[in-house]
Amino acid sequence: MEKTKGYYSIIQYCPDFSRHEMVNVGVILLVPEKHFVAARTSKNNSRASKVFGQGSFDPARLNFAKSSIEKRLRIDKDRLIKLEEFERFADARGNDLVITKPRPVRVAEPAQELGRLFSELVQHREGRRNP
């Protein structure tokens, strides 16, 4: 299958932006040519608990923020399918979740690529060493 240009952004939890300490909690994939924009976020907050401490955040609030991004992408899909609009959306986030600048990626099957990106960039694997 032929690949087309897409973009991905990482959703990061950052409880204290002045420290620039972040944990990846999700990924967004945008493929304008295929009219695809979707996010996949972690279903638990174990990585944030491990890095920032269990009592350092409200898990329900973090889960709500993650699901709100996913919902907003579904609701505003027709508008956010344009890269410029997506960039405005990402820049407008003002809570503990940060969306990185979109990075290019070649995509054949958007749903599969979203899963691959999530696995590579978000999921914590036992025994995996971080550089």
Q: What percent of the chain has pLDDT over 90?
A: 68
pLDDT at 128 over 90: no
- Residue 131: what pLDDT? 43
Distance, in Å, from the CA atom of 30 to the CA atom of 114, rounded to the nearest integer, reads: 9
**What is the token pair recorded at 42?**
């972690």
Helix locations, 55-123, DSSP H:
59-75, 77-80, 83-91, 110-121
- Residue 125: what pLDDT? 57
Q: What would the mean pLDDT of 12-28 be, rounded to a whole number?
A: 86
Q: What is the mean pLDDT of the chain?
A: 89
- The letter for the amino acid at 84 is E
Q: What would the mean pLDDT of 15-29 be, rounded to a whole number?
A: 86
Let me know: does 117 contact 8? Beta carbons within 8 Å.
Answer: yes
Q: Which residue has the higher pLDDT, 84 or 130?
A: 84
Among residues 89, 72, 95, 81, which one has the least CA distance to residue 35? 81
Q: Could you tell me whether strands 4-13 and 23-31 are parallel, antiparallel, or unpaired per DSSP bridges? A: antiparallel
Read off the pLDDT of residues 36-72 as tens digits, 9 standing for 90 and up.
Answer: 999 999 998 888 888 888 888 888 999 999 999 999 9
Distance, in Å, from the CA atom of 94 to the CA atom of 71, rounded to the nearest integer, reads: 16
Residues 6+ apart with CB under 8 A from 80: 30, 37, 73, 86, 89
- Residue 126: what pLDDT? 43
Q: Which residue has the higher pLDDT, 131 or 41?
A: 41
- Residue 19: what pLDDT? 76
What value does the CA radius of gyration of the chain take, rounded to a whole number of Å? 15
